[in-house]
Chains A and B, each alone.
Chain A
Amino acid sequence: MANVTIDNVIKRYGSVQVMHGVSVDIEDGEFVVLVGPSGCGKSTLLRMLAGLEEISDGTISIGDRVVNDVLPKERDIAMVFQSYALYPHKTVYDNIGFPLKMAKRSQSEIDDKVTKAADILDLTKYLKRYPKELSGGQRQRVAMGRAIVRDPQVFLFDEPLSNLDAKLRVTMRIEIKELHQRLGTTIVYVTHDQIEAMTMADKIVVMRDGRVEQIGSPLDLYDNPDNVFVAGFIGSPSMNFVHGKIATEEGVRVFVSDSGLKLPLPETTARDGQEITYGIRPEHIQIGPGGVEMDVVVVEPTGSETQIFAKAGKDLIDALVKERINARPGSKLGFVINPADVHLFDRASEQRI
């Protein structure tokens, strides 16, 4: 086990710079998720950690050792690929035992470790099978088994669940989390799925365009997003954003959107007339009397909750409520917003105010 320090890492392909000084501190035993849209550099960062991509500038250390020029095989890491990368001509047993066999460990040790890993991952029944005879989830577990037997300092996961169907994904999510709790090894996990990030991580690193947007615990990111991007990326359904200005009307400070919608404001240092992006999460909106009146556009009941899309002028807002609401499109509903749940961002810089 080890901590990992990524310090001001830059990646260039020829003259094109794709990563602009990324720094992340990962503590020993932490489960860190790198999350962001495609092309944000999260996979590249992971591959640099693994030693599969060169680091153009900055340093990466595993433990106390700078590994910039250390070969992948000497970094003492294990990686689970999105594609699983199982050896198709080897049985499950041989797949899991291959790294040990190549390290010239004794047969009894290989036996011991493979059996143990198979036991942890519930693969004992399948040891004699070939990868093509396994389901997606089982293949995924074999790939993890191959990582476990080497007992590395750090596990790297590159979108390991994206090839699975939705139901299996939830199961595997729990299994990986459990595995982490059992082994206590540092894990760096890449995904584009913010739900995966929220449910599994001790610490989330949100990336965009080769930069770190924010680092924090899942709830920290949810409650206090640093900027519009993180606010919109974390949380599902994603946060409502309304553009407008701050004004004082009859002694009360309110937010007035570009199309004239008035919304309640929390205490803020923002000046009157300042251009603002106003954010409110759908699940923080209640439906009831005394709220902001809006026209219902679509109502989506899912049984456990109801999502309501409503419009006022050009502003579209959706609310997610526990109650069952029977509202016809075109009718009016009151949207109650608690000022404490509101996030305010500067419109130009998109940074939190």
Chain B
Amino acid sequence: MFPRPIEKAGPGARIGYQLLLPFVLIIWLLPLLAIFATSIRSGADINAGNVFGWPGEFAMIENYVAVFTRSQASMYFINSILITVPSVAISVSLACLAGYALAIYRFRVALPLFFLFVAGNFVPFQILMVPVRDMSVRVGLYDTIAGQFLFHAAFQTGFCTLFMRNFIKALPFDLIESARIEGVKEWRIFWFVVLPLVRPALAALAVLIFTFVWNDFFWANVLTQGESAKPITAGVRALNGQFVNNWHLVSAASLIAAIPPVIMFFLMQRHFIAGLTLGAVK
């Protein structure tokens, strides 16, 4: 078996491995730990310069409560959900349909169209900043939730389509032909044969896009002005006053904001099944 399990290595290597592993893990997690440590300090600690040392006083509950009392964090949080969930739903479902068409049907522009989707992913979104903002102002979507999720969906669909097309293309084509001969209508083939088989891909894609959109900071700032439509990533800034930086509160808010993608991952985990098409052919 390759790689050889560590239990079978010599004692020196084993001890070295056991010593090194926690150390590497800590380095790995250091940024997260630092943020967590900051989020349970009092503001006075940070002002006094005690940024990495042992907290002078623990203010965990106060800090986390303050996030919700001193800012509109709950509103931002709901905004984030209202932006992210439709973005994921729209882009993934559109991508399934487009991916099915690109993978299964042979039509003249299938390949150029597919390359268009691929090429779209290479456009750096920063250069779209000004036109997209202009556009959203003109169609009246500036500073709205709908504006944000529509643009997110539009930006993510390209990548999702590329992903789904390749996944559907990898399914045994005999399954589709077989269903066609059996008299199954095309959309039912999509629904009853293809969709169940691409479930792991759907789950992976959903988690990925959810995380992308949830963590977005750029468009949240480009497409909003006031507070009412800001997602939590952009909203936490409000905790820093005009003249005072409340890094302990910002840290606490950041950690709260990081929770939903993690929950999403665990929710979708049971769909990540390897070998779903096992037994289909041969």
Contact = CB atoms under 8 A, between A and B. Distances in A.
Contact of B276 (A77, A84, A88, A139): A88
B255 interface: no
Interface in B168-186: 172, 174-175, 177-185
Given A79-B178, A81-B178, A83-B281, A102 B184 contact: yes
Interface stretch (A34-42, A125-133, A206-214): A125-133
A102 B185 contact: yes
Contacts of A133: 279
Given A83-B174, A87-B175, A102-B188, A139 B181 contact: no
A71 B186 CA distance: 12
A52 B183 CA distance: 13
Nearest to B282: A163
B197 A52 contact: no
A99 interface: yes
Contacts of B281: 81, 83-86
A86 B280 contact: yes
A81 B176 CA distance: 11
A353 to B, nearest CB: 44
Contacts of B178: 79, 81, 85, 146
A158 to B, nearest CB: 9
A16 interface: no
Given A81-B174, A84-B281, A102-B185, A89 B276 contact: yes
A137 to B, nearest CB: 12
A88 B197 contact: yes
B278 interface: yes
Q: How large is the interface on B (under 10, 10 to 19, 20 to 34, 35 or more residues)?
A: 20 to 34
Contacts of A87: 175, 193, 280
B272 to A, nearest CB: 15
Contacts of B180: 52, 71-73
Contacts of B193: 87
B282 A99 contact: no
B69 to A, nearest CB: 49
Contacts of A225: none
Contacts of A52: 177, 180-181
B277 interface: yes
A85 B276 contact: no
B197 to A, nearest CB: 6
A136 B282 CA distance: 7
Contacts of B183: 73-74, 99, 102-103, 150
Contacts of B277: 88
Contacts of A85: 172, 174-175, 177-178, 280-281
Contacts of A102: 179, 182-185, 188, 192
B56 interface: no
Interface in A101-144: 102-103, 130-134, 136, 139
8 contacts: A73-B184, A73-B185, A81-B174, A84-B282, A88-B278, A102-B192, A146-B178, A150-B182
Interface of A: 50-52, 71-75, 77-79, 81-89, 98-99, 102-103, 130-134, 136, 139, 146, 150, 163
